[in-house]
Amino acid sequence: MDNQSVFDKAVAKFKGFFGRDHTVAAYAPGRVEVLGNHTDYNEGFVLSAAINFGTFFLAAPAEDSQCRLVAGDLMEEAVWDISSREPDKDHMWANYVKGVFAGLRERNGDAMNKGFVGLFFGNIPLGAGLSSSAALEMTSGLGLCALYGVEVDKHDLARIGQAAEHNYAGVKCGLLDQISSLYGKANSLVMTDFRSLEVENVPLGDDACFLMCNTKAKHALVDGEYNERREKCEEAAEYFATALDHPVSALRDVSFDEWQAHAESMDDHAARRSAHVIGECTRVLAGKDLLGHGGKLDAFGELMFESHESSRHNFENSCEELDVLVDAARSIPGVLGARLSGGGFGGSVVALVHPRDAEVVGQAMRAAYNKTYGHGCDVEIILPSDGARVIG
Please give the angle made by the CA atoms of 47, 50 and 51, to the nearest 5 degrees. 125
Q: Which uninterrupted H or E stretch holds 59?
A: strand 45-61
Sort strands 66-71 and 116-122 into parallel, antiparallel or unpaired. Answer: parallel
Between the alpha carbon of residue 130 and those of residues 65, 176, 264, 319, the distances in Å are 34, 12, 38, 19
**Distance between CA 104 and CA 145 in Å, rounded?**
8
| Residue 316, C-beta contacts closer than 8 angstroms, at least 6 positions apart | 272
Best CA proximity match to 276, nearest among 32, 33, 34, 36:
36
Report the alpha-carbon distance of residue 61 to residue 82 in Å, rounded: 12
In Å, the largest CA–CA distance within the chain is: 69
Instruction: Write the CB contacts of 261 (distance below 8 Å, at least 6 apart in sequence).
Output: none
Please give the helix or strand (H or E) that residue 26 lies within, else none: strand 24-35
Question: Which residues, at least 6 apart from 206, have a Cβ–Cβ distance to it below 8 Å?
Answer: 187, 355
Cβ proximity of 63 and 210 under 8 Å: no
The one catalytic residue in 64, 177, 193, 386 is 177
Q: Which helix (H) or strand (E) holds 271?
A: helix 268-292
Q: What one-character-per-residue DSSP string does 320-370 give?
A: HHHHHHHHHHHTSTTEEEEEEESS-SEEEEEEEE-GGGHHHHHHHHHHHHH
Active site residue 289: no
Decide if 33 contacts 341 (C-beta within 8 A): yes
Q: What is the C-alpha separation between 378 and 195, in angstroms, rounded?
A: 35
* Catalytically annotated residues: 177
